[in-house]
Amino acid sequence: MKVDWNKRYTTIAIYSFIVICCSIVFYNIMDKMSAFTDKISWIMATLQPFIIGFVIAYLLNFILVFFEEKVLVFDSIKNMKKKGKRGISILLTYTTAFIILSVFVQFVLPQVADSIAGLGNDIPSYVTNVTNVTKLLEELTKEIKMIGLHNIYKEESKMILRENKDKTKINYKNRLLQQSISIDLS
């Protein structure tokens, strides 16, 4: 018995199967999240030295290529073997990296430490400033609400006065009309 495979439906079935499998894997990961995060943290702890090494090698490669192509172009060095030129470039790269690191530790690191210490000393004043600002904002919102309520009350009282004026005008007109009718009748 020969099965006639329809490419369109086969493709749909394969995609559906992949989506269902991914959904099951996602559900299992979410169901056992603590075990999953433990495994991921173990993997990252294992790979961390390699990742740091690759990053350092990637960054130092730029310096190495600079020394090989731009600095070591003297005739005596050009005649050297490639390994010798690479060795000198590596030595210069490590020396440059050490100098950059020592300058960073000597000049930048103390400034950062002083800034962090200053920030730690200034945090109480920042907290009091933020507290004062929030108190001011609360007072302003209360005043705005009071002004808004006062305006609403004012508007309502104006409407009541207008209604009363209209009623008094109508009453006055009715009295005048009644008086004029009573005068005409007499």
pLDDT tens digits, 95-132: 999 999 999 889 888 888 888 888 888 888 888 888 98
What are the b/e assignments for 84-119, b being 16+ CB within 10 Å? ebeebbeebbeeeeeeeeeeeeeeeeeeeeeeeeee
DSSP class per residue in 127-163? HHHHHHHHHHHHHHHHHHHHHHHHHHHHHHHHHHHHH
In sequence order, which residues have a C-beta less than 8 Å from that of residue 88 and are 6 or more positions away? 67, 72, 77, 80
3-state secondary structure of 185: helix
Q: Could you state, in order of their start, the residue ranges of all structural domains in the chain?
A: 6-53
What pLDDT band is residue 176 in, cutting at 50, 70 and 90? Answer: low
Question: Is 61 in contact with 43 (CB distance < 8 Å)?
Answer: no
End-to-end CA distance of the chain: 121
pLDDT at 102: 93
DSSP class per residue in 5-27? --HHHHHHHHHHHHHHHHHHHHH
Q: Could you tell me the pTM of the whole model?
A: 0.45
pLDDT (mean) for 138-151: 71
pLDDT (mean) for 52-76: 86
Question: In whole angstroms, what is the distance from residue 82 CA to residue 90 CA?
Answer: 12
**Amino acid identity, residue 73?**
V
3-state helix, strand, coil in the chain (%, to 5): 90, 0, 10
* Token pair of 180 as six digits: 């004029």
In sequence order, which residues have a C-beta less than 8 Å from that of residue 71 and are 6 or more positions away? 92
